[in-house]
Chains A and B, each alone.
Chain A
Amino acid sequence: GESVGLHLPTLSVQEGDNSIINCAYSNSASDYFIWYKQESGKGPQFIIDIRSNMDKRQGQRVTVLLNKTVKHLSLQIAATQPGDSAVYFCAENDATGGFKTIFGAGTRLFVKA
């Protein structure tokens, strides 16, 4: 079945550096992708999304890149701050598949002061 995976389960970066979190997806029919951030003891929180007709989208300090050729998604965080420490999930939706949402296993980001 479809799966959304992550290249690295844990990422440690220095405060002020840029972070890149990667995600691979297997369903080529997926047309909507989302990044969520989950802090300890809380529910996931939306960060940024991108639809399949785009390859890049920017938000405040975050950028999502979508490469449909290799089915790869990445989240870039600029000038990483201690408050960015959390688990990050990518998720995909396939509207033709009935609006199911499939999440990756998550990447834990540690920011060193």
Chain B
Amino acid sequence: EAQVTQNPRYLITVTGKKLTVTCSQNMNHEYMSWYRQDPGLGLRQIYYSMNVEVTDKGDVPEGYKVSRKEKRNFPLILESPSPNQTSLYFCASSLSGGTVSEQYFGPGTRLTVT
């Protein structure tokens, strides 16, 4: 089944403890992206990747890191999480980085930072 998977689905952590949220897609998509969703703010793009080893900042990249060493994986790293990073995170992928097309979203990761 074609899908985007994220792990973990739920995470509660403490301020300053490094964490990684994994994202994987099995559709051979070039484009992958991370968003955070907060009430009243919709989805805001954190980082995106056009292809392996190519990443770019979205609108809210501060406090986050990403890497794209393989086409299928696009992990989101929070080196020192803070409470303002408590949010619902979505990973997404789409077919071609050369021409933007619809994105396929994962099920989301709910992160709470205390």
A: which residues have CB within 8 A of B? 1, 32, 34, 36, 41-46, 49, 89, 91, 93, 95, 98-106
Closest to A47 in B: B102
- Residues of chain B within 8 A of A95, CB atoms compared: 99-100
Whether, in the assembled complex, B104 has its beta carbon less than 8 Å from a beta carbon of chain A, the answer is yes
- Residues of chain A within 8 A of B106, CB atoms compared: 43
* A105, B104: Cα distance in complex, Å: 19
Whether, in the assembled complex, B59 has its beta carbon less than 8 Å from a beta carbon of chain A, the answer is yes
- Residues of chain B within 8 A of A45, CB atoms compared: 105
* A63, B25: Cα distance in complex, Å: 29
Q: A34-B102, A44-B43, A99-B56 are in contact. List 9 more A-B contacts (CB 8 A).
A: A43-B107, A93-B100, A95-B100, A99-B50, A100-B45, A100-B59, A102-B45, A102-B59, A105-B42
B: which residues have CB within 8 A of A? 4, 31, 33, 35, 40-45, 48, 50, 56, 58-59, 90, 92, 97, 99-108
Q: Indicate if the CB atoms of A100 and B58 lie closer than 8 Å.
A: yes
- Residues of chain A within 8 A of B103, CB atoms compared: 34, 44, 46, 101
Q: How far is the CB of B105 from chain A (nearest CB, A)?
A: 3
Q: How far is the CB of B26 from chain A (nearest CB, A)?
A: 16
- Residues of chain A within 8 A of B33, CB atoms compared: 101
Q: Indicate if the CB atoms of A49 and B43 lie closer than 8 Å.
A: no
**Given A99-B97, A101-B48, also A46-B102 (CB < 8 A):** yes
Q: How far is the CB of B4 from chain A (nearest CB, A)?
A: 8
Q: Indicate if the CB atoms of A103 and B43 lie closer than 8 Å.
A: yes
* A106, B102: Cα distance in complex, Å: 17
- Residues of chain A within 8 A of B43, CB atoms compared: 44, 89, 91, 103
Q: Indicate if the CB atoms of B101 and A105 lie closer than 8 Å.
A: no
Closest to A4 in B: B42
